[in-house]
Structure formats: structure tokens, C-alpha cells
Structure 1
Amino acid sequence: MPLTPPITFLREFLHRPAELGTFIPSSRFLESRIVRLGGLGEDSVIIELGPGIGGTTRAILRELPSTARLIAVELNPDFIRPLRAIGDDRLTVHHGSAEDLPEILAQHGLASAEVVFSGIPFSTIPAAAGQSILQCVWNTLAPGGRFVAYQLRSRVKQLARGLMGDPDEEFELLNIPPLWVYRWVKEAGAASKVVQPEEGLIAV
């Protein structure tokens, strides 16, 4: 008998806690805050990194214009089936790593994205992997694009500072556990740069 999505989420947290960060899916309050900060427009390309079983994915789709497209990139193979079961024509589920984001977009005939959402727990993955993902996000964002990351700790802010600068910050209490939500905006004409993994890291 197939497991229901919440049980699948809990099982995967017990097997791979560093990949998930928490064993409880996002609350509707957190989902609403994340979507609002992303700002979803017509004809947009939206990327979601680490969608899990799809709670935030569904929240994005509820607000997504009919002409926009959502690419959900999930590393855990056990989450692919629940994500594909959402069954929305605007949604493409890609089984792969966020470190391959430029190649993933090219594979789907896309050059850039207006919004990137991320639930990847940057505080529990190696710093080099975290900065590699952030570099890919930065390179993927179109001018004026937004990167929204929801996190238990502030590690992502430290990892991204040399590349993206300081983010806007909000705190969502109505979630278990309460989470920080960070947003960076890539200004038009922002220069490309590469930040080495050892630059500016603070253990948090």
C-alpha cells in the first residue's frame, strides 16, 4: 500500500534529516508569506528548489497565472511521485540537484527565471554545496528576479552575503517550527561574480 504524503515526509526526515531540516510540512501561513514575497507575474518562469511533498508547490500554483510555468526541482526520489500526482499543466517536476540548475533550465528550453523559491535547509548541508546552489540561483535569476528562501536558521544569509548582499527578512511564527523567510532581489545590470566557498562564512 503506498504511503500518504505526510507519512512519506516523516519517513524521509527520519532517513535523511539533513536534506529536509524539519519533519513537519509548511503551514498555510508560511506558504502564503512565501508566495507573497515571490510576487508571481504573467508569463513568469518560477523555480522551486526542494519542494518536498508539494505543500508549497500547491500554494504557488494557486496563485500562479495561467501563462506562467513552475519547475519543481527535487533531489529525493521518494517525493517525485507525490509531486507529479499534483497533475497541473503549468508544473514540471524535475528529479535532480539544485547544483545543476542552469543545465536543468536549458533541458526544459528555458534561459532564466523570475522567481526562485527554496526550502533547502542551508544550515545542514556543506558550505561548499550551499554556495554552489546560491551561485546557480544568482546566475539563473533574470534582472529584477527574486530569490525567496525559508529557513530555520540564518546560515543562508551568511552564505549569500558576498554574492547577493543582505536580504529582506520576515519571521513566520505560525509554523512548526517558526521559520525565517529571506528575500533577495537581483537588480537590473547586477554584475556577475563568483564567491569562493570559504569567503565570509559564519557558523550559525
Structure 2
Amino acid sequence: MLEEPQRERSHRGSGVVAFFRGFLRSPEQVGSVVPSSRFLEQRLVRLAGVGQARCVVELGPGTGGTTRALLAGMPADAKLLTIELDARFAELLSEIDDPRLISHTGSAAELGEILDLHNLPAPDAVVSGIPFSTMPRQIGNAVLEAVRDRLAPGGVFVAYQFRGHVGRMGREVLGQPDIEVEALNVPPMRFFKWVRG
């Protein structure tokens, strides 16, 4: 088995501490006490189809592990917009040195306005790690409606969650999702995927 490069291990180690602190600070905004596994990250990149995307949006990037994975899978001329509510997590994203990355601190419910602010086209993929199970239903619906309204035709929305709230809420706004499970994550993670017709 190949060892992770020292820099990557360092990012993961500092990410675990920052993630845990974020959970203690605002458990309703952070879906887990530990960041995602590399298996989760790889599945997310594949399901979202970021290899062919020109504009990707990540809602709730946390400490940046999934952000780095998305950037690694994206074309050289694509753009990644991250929207993070927690200012301390957003500050960690500024450590990622990649000209394709646009980091925005704000609410995912304002997706349309944020895309316009940064002069970005309709996204080909939107991925979300924000915990729909702990947010008020009204805000969760606003996020899902914003994704529906701004996703490009044929675009993909992937939400990865421990619980099934987003699946139930999403059916009302986006229709029936495809569901997969990543067992190699602590705890196991569910992926809910919608494709805009």
C-alpha cells in the first residue's frame, strides 16, 4: 500500500482537529465529528462527474478535504465555487492554492445570488455535505430550490449524508434520487443523486 504524501497527511491531521472543533462550536451546521474518508471523496468525485464539468459548486466544504478531491478531479479550465457558512472553515479553504477555487462565506440558500456575484455560469455539478437533518426545514427547502433553479440542464446534484432527510425533502423539490452507500467511512455515508432533465 502506498503511503500518503507527508503534506496530505498533514492536511488530514489538522483537518480532523478543525472539524472536531467546528462540530463542538456548531453541531447543527457540521454533520460529523471527523472529516470524510478518501473513499468518500473518490465516490463523490465520480458521482458528480466533475471530470467533465466546467463549473462545480460545493456546499459546506468544511475543512477542505472534499474540496481538494474535487479540484484533483476537475479539468484545468473549470471553476470550483465553495459556499461555507462557518467563517473559520472558510478561512482554512484560503490555504488551498488553486486559481480554479473561489471560496465564498455565506448561505447555500443564496446560491443564485452568489453565482451571479462571481460571474459564474449554471453549475454542471453541485455537491453538498451540509447536514439537512439538523437545519430548519424552511432553509433546507430553500437550498434545494436554489440548486434546482440554477443547475445546468443535465447537471448533477449530489448530497452526501448520514441520515435520509435530504432524500425525503429532495423528492418534493427534485424528484426521486438515486442512492448509494459508502461503507468505508466513519460512520458509513449515503449519497443522494439527482440529475436535472
* Aligned partner of residue 124 in structure 2, secondary structure: strand
Does residue 1:171 correspond to 2:181, yes or no?
A: yes
Alpha carbons of structure 1 residues 103 and 5: separation in structure 2 relative to 1, 3 Å: same
Query: What does residue 69 of structure 2 align with?
Result: 59
Q: 2:167 aligns with which of 157, 179, 200?
A: 157
How many residues are paired up?
A: 185
Residue type of the alignment partner of 1:68: A
How big is the alpha-carbon RMSD for the aligned residues of Structure 1 and Structure 2? 1.3
Query: Where do 5+ consecutive residues of structure 2 fail to align?
Result: 1-12
Aligned equivalent of 1:142, options 145, 152, 155: 152
Pairing of 1:77-88 with structure 2 (within 5 A)? 77-88=87-98
- AA aligned opposite 1:182: F
Identical-residue share of aligned pairs (%): 48
Q: Which residue number in structure 2 is paired with residue 48 of structure 1?
A: 58
Residue in structure 1 matched with residue 17 of structure 2 by the alignment: 7
Secondary structure in structure 2 of the residue aligned to 1:149:
strand
- Structure 2 distance, partners of 1:46, 1:21, is 21
Larger fraction in helix: 2
**For residue 104 of structure 1, what is the aligned residue in structure 2?**
114
Whether the 8 Å CA contact 2:53–2:124 is kept in 1: the answer is no
Match of 1:22 among 32, 53, 61: 32
CA distance in 2, matches of 1:106, 1:173: 37
Cα distance in 2 for residues equivalent to 1:111 and 1:34 = 21
**Which residue of the partner structure matches residue 118 of structure 1?**
128
Matched with 1:184 is 194
Any idea what SS the aligned residue of 2:16 has? helix
Separation in structure 2 between the aligned mates of residue 174 and residue 35 of structure 1, nearest angstrom: 15
Deviation for aligned residue 1:7: 1.6
* SS of 1:73 mapped into structure 2: strand
Q: Alignment partner of 1:144: what SS?
A: coil
Task: Give the drift of 1:42.
Answer: 4.4
Could you tell me the TM-score, scaled by structure 1's length? 0.88
Task: Please list every run of 5 or more consecutive structure 1 residues that lacks an aligned counterpart in the other structure.
Answer: 188-204
- Which residue of structure 1 lines up, in the alignment, with residue 5 of structure 2? none
Cα deviations by residue, 1:28-59 (Å, 9 ceiling, x for unpaired): 00010111000024461000000000000000
Aligned counterparts of 2:29 and 2:181: Cα–Cα separation in 1: 22
Structure 1 runs (4+) deviating above 4 angstroms are none
Give the secondary-structure state (helix, strand or coil) at the position aligned to 1:46.
strand
Quote the Cα distance in structure 2 between the aligned partners of 1:75 and 1:162.
Answer: 25
| Cα deviation digits, residues 54-90 of structure 1 (max 9, x gap) | 0000000111110111001000000122101011011
Distance 2:77 2:51 in 1: 9
Aligned residue runs from structure 1 range 68-83, under 5 A: 68-83=78-93
